[in-house]
Amino acid sequence: MQINLKVWRQENRQAVGGYKNYSVSDISEHMSFFEMLDKLNNELVCKDEDPIAFDHDCREGICGSCGVTINGRAHGPLRGVTSCQLHMRSFKDGDTLVVEPWRAASFPVIKDLVVDRTTFDRIMESGGYVSINTGGTPDANAIPISKLDADAAFDSATCIGCGACVAICKNSSAMLFVGAKVTQFTKLPQGKVERRVRVKNMVAQMDAEGFGSCTNTGACEAECPKEISLTNIATLNKEYLKASLC
Amino acid sequence: MAFNSNIPKGPLKEKWTDHLFNMKLVNPANKRKYKIIVVGTGLAGGSAAATLAELGYNVEAFSYHESPRRAHSIAAQGGINAAKNYPNDGDSIYRLFYDTIKGGDYRAREANVHRLAEISNNIIDQCVAQGVPFAREYGGLLDNRSFGGAQVSRTFYARGQTGQQLLLGTYSALTRQMKSGKVKFHPRHEMLDLVMVDDKARGIITRNLETGEIKSHAADAVILATGGYGNVFYLSTNAMASNATAAWRAHRKGAYFANPCFTQIHPTCIPVSSEHQSKLTLMSESLRNDGRVWVPKEKDDKRNPNEIPEDERDYYLERMYPSFGNLVPRDVASRRAKNICDAGHGVGSTGLAVYLDFNDVISRKGQEWVAEKYGNLFDMYKQITGDNPYVCPMMIYPAVHYTMGGLWVDYNLMSSIEGLHVLGEANFSDHGANRLGASALMQGLADGYFVIPYTIGNYLASNKLVDVDVDHPAFKETEDEIKAFNTKLFSINGTRTVDDFHKELGKIMWDYVGMARNKEGLEKALIAIPKLREEFWKDVKIPGSESEFNPELEKAGRLADFLELGELMARDALNRQESCGGHFREEFQTEENEAKRNDEDFTFAAAWEYKGENQTPELHKEDLNFEHVKPTTRSYK
User: Do A200 and A163 share a domain, yes or no?
Assistant: yes
Q: Do residues A100 and A143 both lie within one domain?
A: no
Residues A51 and A140 in one domain: no
Report how far residue A144's alpha carbon sits from residue A159's, in angstroms, rounded to the nearest whole number.
24
Q: Could A30 and B273 be called an inter-chain contact, meaning their C-beta atoms sit closer than 8 Å?
A: yes
From the candidates B123, B159, B168, which should be mutated to test the interface with A, based on the most A CB atoms within 10 A?
B168
Last-in-domain residue among A66, A87, A110:
A110
| pLDDT for position B284 | 85
In this structure, chain B runs to a length of 637
Nearest to A117 among B67, B541, B552 (CB): B67
| Mutate which: B55, B186, B279, vs A, most A CBs within 10 A | B279
Instruction: Say if residue A132 is in the same domain as residue A234.
Output: yes
Of A134, A146, A191, the CB nearest to B54: A134
Is the CB of B179 less than 8 angstroms away from the CB of A147?
no
Question: What single string gives the DSSP state of each residue in chain A?
Answer: --EEEEEEE-SSSSS--EEEEEEE-S--TTSBHHHHHHHHHHHHHHTT-PPPP---SSSSS-S-----EETTEET-SSTT--GGG-BGGGS-TT-EEEEE----TTS-EEETTEE--HHHHHHHHTT-S----SS-PPPTTSS---HHHHHHHHHHHT-----HHHHH-TT-B-HHHHHHHHHHHHHSHHHHTTHHHHHHHHHHHHHHTT-B---S--HHHHH-TT---THHHHHHHHHHHHHHH-
Task: Examine the domain organization and report whether A134 and A214 are in the same domain.
Answer: yes
Contact: A133, B54; criterion CB under 8 Å? yes
Residue B272 DSSP code: P
Residue B386 Cα, gap to closest chain A Cα (Å): 9
Mean pLDDT of chain B: 96
Question: Are residue A98 and residue A57 in the same domain, yes or no?
Answer: yes
Q: In Å, how far is B545's CA from the nearest CA of chain A?
A: 10
In this complex, do B133 and A153 lie within 8 Å of one another by their Cβ atoms?
yes
Residue B2 confidence (pLDDT): 57
The answer, yes or no, to whether residue B1 has pLDDT greater than 70, is no
Residue with the bigger pLDDT between B376 and B442: it is B442
pLDDT per residue as tens, chain A (246 positions): 999 999 999 999 999 999 999 999 999 999 999 999 999 999 999 999 999 999 999 999 999 999 999 999 999 999 999 999 999 999 999 999 999 999 999 999 999 999 999 999 999 999 999 999 999 999 999 999 999 999 999 999 999 999 999 999 999 999 999 999 999 999 999 999 999 999 999 999 999 999 999 999 999 999 999 999 999 999 999 999 999 997
Specify the DSSP element, H or E, that contains B292.
strand B292-296
Which one of A110, A126, A143 terminates a domain?
A110
Residues A133 and A191 in one domain: yes
- Judge if A175 and A101 occupy the same domain: no
CATH number of the domain that residue A86 is part of:
3.10.20.30
Q: Residue B139 pLDDT > 70, yes or no?
A: yes
- Which domain, by its residues, includes A100? 3-110
Nearest to A137 among B51, B125, B239 (CB): B125
B614: Cα separation from own chain's centroid:
27
Q: What is the pTM of this model?
A: 0.97
Average pLDDT over residues B428-456: 97
Q: Count how many domains chain A has.
A: 2
Residues A87 and A148 in one domain: no
- Whole-number Å distance between alpha carbons of B81 and B91: 11
Q: Which of A82, A110, A138 is the last residue of a domain?
A: A110
Regarding whether A104 and A12 lie in a shared domain, the answer is yes
Tens of pLDDT, residues B401-416: 999 999 999 999 999 9
- Select the residue of A58, A114, A145 nearest B74 (Cβ to Cβ): A58
Tell me whether residues A30 and B274 touch, CB distance under 8 A: yes
Is the ipTM, as predicted for this complex, more than 0.85? yes
The answer to whether the Cα torsion of B73, B77, B83, B85 is positive or negative is positive
| B292 annotated active-site | no
The pLDDT value given to residue B593: 84
Check residue B273 and give its pLDDT: 84
Q: Of the candidates A64, A85, A114, which has its C-beta nearest B70's C-beta?
A: A64
Do A130 and B129 make contact, defined as CB atoms within 8 angstroms?
yes
Residues A203 and A219 in one domain: yes
The alpha-carbon gap from B241 to the nearest alpha carbon of chain A, in Å, equals 6
Residue in chain A lying closest to B131 (CA): A190
The domains of chain B, with CATH numbers, are 265-401 (3.90.700.10)
- A138-177 pLDDT, tens digit per residue, is 999 999 999 999 999 999 999 999 999 999 999 999 999 9
Radius of gyration (Cα) for chain B, nearest Å?
A: 24
Choice among B107, B145, B330, B597 that is catalytic: B330
Helix (H, G, I), strand (E, B) or coil at B207: strand
Across B139-148, b (16+ Cβ under 10 Å) vs e yields eebbbbbbbb
Residues 469 to 508 of B: which have CB under 8 A from any A CB? Answer: 495, 497, 499-500
CATH code for the domain of A158: 1.10.1060.10
**How much is the pLDDT for B348?**
93
Q: Are residues A131 and A240 in the same domain?
A: yes
A160 CA: distance to closest CA in chain B (Å): 8
| Sheet of strand B618-623: strand arrangement | B406-407, B257-258, B604-609, B618-623
Interface test with B, best of A60, A81, A201, A228 (most B CBs within 10 A): A60
